[in-house]
Structure formats: C-alpha cells, structure tokens
C-alpha cells in the first residue's frame, strides 16, 4: 500500500491479489493536469456575454485536461490524455456551504461549433468519440486517445498559499514584500554545478546557491561563497560558526508580494542558452501576488524534446518524452494573482524596450493561478501584420488556472500555444509542496520501467480482491 498526503497521512490495510499492483490513497497534486480551468472562459467579462474559448485543429494536449464547466470543440482538436468536465453552466460557479462549487444544476456535455449544449446520452453518436456536424457541413470531431468523462465531480481550487509559506519558512526561502527581480539559473560555484537563486528587494540583491546535497551557500560582499544558516527569525545569513550545522534547502520559495521580474539569467535566451533549473533541482515559487515571467525558463535535463506534430492525414505525432528519470522541475503558483508571460509588445516605451520574452519563448514549468489566469501581458498588442510574429509559447509542463488566460489573437498579436505535457507529473511526481486537491482519491496503479526510470501508471478494468480496506485519517482535510 502507498499513500501520498502532503501534510496529512492515511492508515491503510488491504490484501491485494496481484502483488505487482498497489492501491494509492492520495490527495493528488494539481501538477498532474496538462490543462485545468475552473471557468472555461478567458475572462469574467467573456463569461457574462457567453464568449467561449474554442478548441480547434490547432489544439493539441498530451496530458490530462479538465474543466469545471464545458468545452467548445471545432474541427479535430487532439487530446492524448484523459479529458473530463464537470458541466457547471455559464455563470454557474459560486459558493456552496462556504466552498466553491456549481450553484446551478450540472449539465454534462459539450458545445460543438455554436452555443448549443449537446448532452452525451442524447446527442452524441459516440460518447467517447463524438462527431457533430452542422447544416453547412462543418463538423466537430475531437480526437480522444484516452478516457472521456462528461460528468466529473467539481474540483475545487485552493485560495491561499499557506502550506507553501510554511514549508518555505521551515526549510526554504521565505521573503516578505515584493521582489523586484528573482533569477533562477544553473552555474558553476566552488567547482561544481549548483542552482543559483538571486533576488532583489528594496534595491538590495542577495545570491544563494545549493548543490545536490541541498546545503545552502550565500555570496558575501567580497564575492566569495560561504556556508549559510538560518537565524532565529528564519532569515538566511552567513554561518560564521564552523561547528554549527549549515542550512539545508527544500526547494520552496515563498513571497508575500508580487514578483515583478522572474527570469533565467542573462543567458536564458542566448544561443547556446544556459539552463534555469539545474539537473538535480526541484523548485516551487509560491505567492499570493502576481508573477511576471520575463525570459525563458528551462531545465538542464528536460524530460521531453520537440513538439506535437499534426500530420497531413490529421493524425498527431506526439513529442518525444524519453528522459523520464530527469529530476529537475519547477512549479510557479499564484494563489490570488495572475502569472503573466511578458510580451515585448507590452513594453510602455516601445517594442522590446523592457524585460520581456523572446520569440518562441520556452517555459519548462507547471504554472498555476488558482484565482487568476496564466496569460500573456500584451497579448492584444500588435507586432506587425503577420500572424503570430512572436511564434509560440513553447510550454513543457502544465497550466492550472481559474480562467483560461489569453496568449494572443488571430490578427497577429501575441503568441500561439505549443504545449507539451510533462508525463512525470502523471506518476505522482510534483514540484515541492505544490498544491494538492482537497479530495482524497483511491486508485489502483502499477509500476514499470520506462527509459530506465521506474514510473507508476493507473490501472483500469482490474478489480481489487481482498478482505478489507480501511482508512483512518490522522490529519488534513478528507
């Protein structure tokens, strides 16, 4: 038996008939989604006027996709992972007994090409492969390579980052107030590759570094690197006592204000580029404020390469994910603000005159804005008359958001989307202290070797045989 519970735990007793399989009881991390939307509209204003987000032939998601409302399909959008929707109607999400939920009767189904809701039982020719054609011959035929659930339960998003702040205060980096710049990059320090964390507050810049041993170093005024410790207030300072234990780092960075300029260092977008996240590093940045990303953020050892390709016959060749034993990962979480990918078209003094992303920016991370959106700042600002002159945001990871934030417009503004799911996130792996769902889940899984890495995958169609399964909650929310 195995259990994953964050700060909570479960006692499990079971006797399974197949020893190679196991029962996993967990509060699953939100990082498992390739895409999650609470409201499947770009903004609250769009929801008021029923202006829906449309998935088209250009839509390709290789991991789990969920919305608490409805999808709108046109053409042949491709989904390589599971697809689910809760069916909350437009403007039908609110508070029930103090918690977010559907406040109107749920309506399982989806929209195809217009604003008429079709229910799977009555109107789909196939629940798992619906084909819906209009009078003009235009058809919506989403391609599902995995399971489809049209009546999934409502999944509540968190509204604070208290757990992440607690983890940062204990063994991470807890910063109070706004951060004008936060830089993450791999660099050589004292003869070995280390993860650098450079931050600026109120005009003062601090540089930290750690290696695979998780021991923190701090750069002092003369430029040398010294062992670090935490003082009585939890601040990271120079360890002047050679006999005292140094500070360890758990990978969690908490900020109580906005992060105005998150970047991967001066070589994040050069050729060749410098990785932002070292091969051994796993980091989570959490804040209730806004996060502005102003450069590519990349892994030293990415699990996947390339992109999904739509073939001439309409099929899809997924990106290659052959490095599933990679350890580096990054989570960025805003509990009350937006995560903004800064377009050079958004610069107040002219195109590219401020810290901003390049064309075809690479973001290798799981991005979560639980009360806001992951969006491009300046998505509606013109570059020239060519469509998507800035290319695509090349995301390796996932997006979890309250609203489906805009990246660009078809008239040539902003960026397109090229999303590749990080399949490690579907194997119970997540950035440190990344938010988890409130509900507990129980499921059968099995382990297997993939590219010399042991991964776990869910099982279906297999019944667990045994005498008893009992759970006893020790802490946390069931």
Are the C-beta atoms of residues 55 and 419 closer than 8 Å to each other? no
Residue 247 carries which DSSP code? Answer: P
The pLDDT assigned to 11 comes to 42
The SS3 assignment for 169 reads helix
Residue 310: which residues within 8 A CB-CB, separation 6 or more?
Answer: 57, 58, 60, 78, 316
The pLDDT assigned to 454 comes to 60
Strand bridging mode 470-473 / 10-13: antiparallel
The pLDDT assigned to 141 comes to 86
Distance between the two ends of the chain, CA-based, in angstroms? 18
The SS3 assignment for 301 reads coil
Are the C-beta atoms of residues 130 and 110 closer than 8 Å to each other? yes
The pLDDT assigned to 27 comes to 81
Distance, in Å, from the CA atom of 386 to the CA atom of 389, rounded to the nearest integer, reads 6
The pLDDT assigned to 136 comes to 72
* DSSP of 86-143: --PPTT-EEEETTEEEESS-----EEESSS-EE-HHHH-S-SSS--EE-TTS-EE--E
* Cis before 272 (ω within 30): yes
The pLDDT assigned to 463 comes to 52
Q: What is the pLDDT along the chain (478 residues), one digit of tens a residue?
A: 555 555 444 444 444 444 467 777 778 899 999 999 999 999 999 999 999 999 998 899 999 999 999 999 988 999 999 999 999 999 999 999 999 999 999 999 999 877 678 887 656 667 677 877 777 777 788 999 999 999 999 999 999 999 999 999 999 999 999 999 999 999 999 999 999 999 999 999 999 999 999 999 999 999 999 999 998 888 999 998 876 778 999 999 999 999 999 999 999 999 999 999 999 999 999 999 999 999 999 999 999 999 999 999 888 999 999 999 999 999 999 999 999 999 999 999 988 899 999 999 999 999 999 999 999 999 998 875 444 478 899 999 999 999 999 999 877 788 989 999 999 998 878 999 999 998 777 767 777 664 455 656 666 555 555 554 444 333 333 3
Distance, in Å, from the CA atom of 411 to the CA atom of 407, rounded to the nearest integer, reads 12
The pLDDT assigned to 292 comes to 98
Task: State the DSSP H helix or E strand holding residue 370, giving kind and residue range, or none if neither.
Answer: strand 362-377
Residue 231 carries which DSSP code? Answer: -
Distance, in Å, from the CA atom of 169 to the CA atom of 235, rounded to the nearest integer, reads 9
Are the C-beta atoms of residues 273 and 298 closer than 8 Å to each other? yes
Are the C-beta atoms of residues 330 and 431 closer than 8 Å to each other? yes
The pLDDT assigned to 15 comes to 43
Are the C-beta atoms of residues 421 and 241 closer than 8 Å to each other? no
The SS3 assignment for 13 reads strand
The structure's pTM equals 0.89
Q: Is 98 exposed, middle or buried (0-12, 13-18, 19+ CB in 10 A)?
A: exposed
Residue 152 carries which DSSP code? Answer: P
């Amino acid at each position: 038996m195995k259990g994953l519970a964050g700060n909570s735990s479960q006692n499990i007793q079971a006797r399974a008939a197949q020893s190679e399989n196991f029962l996993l009881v967990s509060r699953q991390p939100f990082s498992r989604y390739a895409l999650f939307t609470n409201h499947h509209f770009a903004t609250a204003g769009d929801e008021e006027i029923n202006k829906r987000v449309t998935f088209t032939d250009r839509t390709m998601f290789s991991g789990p996709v969920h919305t608490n409302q409805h999808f709108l399909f046109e053409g042949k959008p491709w989904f390589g992972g599971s697809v689910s929707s809760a069916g909350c109607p437009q403007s039908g999400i609110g508070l029930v007994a103090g918690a977010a939920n559907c406040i109107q009767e749920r309506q399982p189904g989806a929209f195809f090409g217009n604003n008429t809701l079709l229910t799977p039982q009555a109107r789909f020719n196939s629940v798992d492969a619906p084909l819906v054609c209009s009078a003009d011959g235009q058809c919506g035929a989403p391609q599902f390579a995995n399971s489809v659930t049209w009546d999934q339960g409502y999944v509540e998003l968190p509204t604070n980052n208290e757990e992440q702040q607690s983890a940062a205060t204990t063994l991470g980096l807890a910063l109070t107030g706004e951060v004008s710049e936060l830089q993450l990059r791999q660099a050589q320090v004292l003869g070995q590759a280390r993860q650098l964390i450079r931050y600026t507050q109120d005009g003062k810049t601090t540089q930290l570094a750690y290696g695979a041993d998780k021991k923190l170093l701090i750069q002092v005024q003369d430029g040398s690197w010294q062992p670090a410790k935490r003082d009585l207030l939890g601040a990271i300072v120079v360890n002047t006592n050679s006999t005292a234990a140094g500070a360890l780092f758990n990978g969690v960075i908490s900020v109580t204000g906005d992060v105005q300029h998150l970047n991967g260092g001066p070589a994040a977008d050069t050729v060749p580029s410098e990785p932002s996240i070292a091969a051994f590093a796993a980091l989570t940045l959490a804040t209730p404020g806004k996060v502005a990303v102003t450069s590519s953020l990349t892994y030293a050892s990415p699990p996947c390469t390339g992109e999904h390709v739509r073939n001439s016959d309409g099929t899809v060749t997924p990106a290659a994910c052959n490095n599933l034993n990679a350890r580096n990962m990054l989570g960025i979480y805003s509990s009350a603000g937006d995560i903004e990918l800064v377009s050079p078209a958004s610069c107040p003094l002219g195109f590219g005159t401020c810290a901003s992303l390049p064309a075809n920016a690479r973001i290798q991370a799981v991005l979560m804005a639980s009360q806001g959106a992951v969006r491009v700042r300046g998505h509606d600002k013109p570059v020239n008359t060519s469509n998507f002159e800035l290319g695509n945001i090349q995301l390796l990871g996932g997006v979890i958001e309250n609203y489906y934030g805009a990246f660009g417009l078809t008239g040539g503004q902003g960026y397109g989307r090229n999303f590749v799911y990080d399949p490690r996130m579907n194997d119970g792996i997540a950035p440190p202290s990344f938010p988890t769902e409130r509900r507990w889940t129980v499921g059968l899984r099995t382990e297997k070797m993939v590219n010399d890495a042991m991964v776990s995958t869910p099982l279906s169609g297999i019944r667990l045989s045994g005498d008893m399964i009992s759970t006893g909650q020790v802490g946390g929310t069931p």
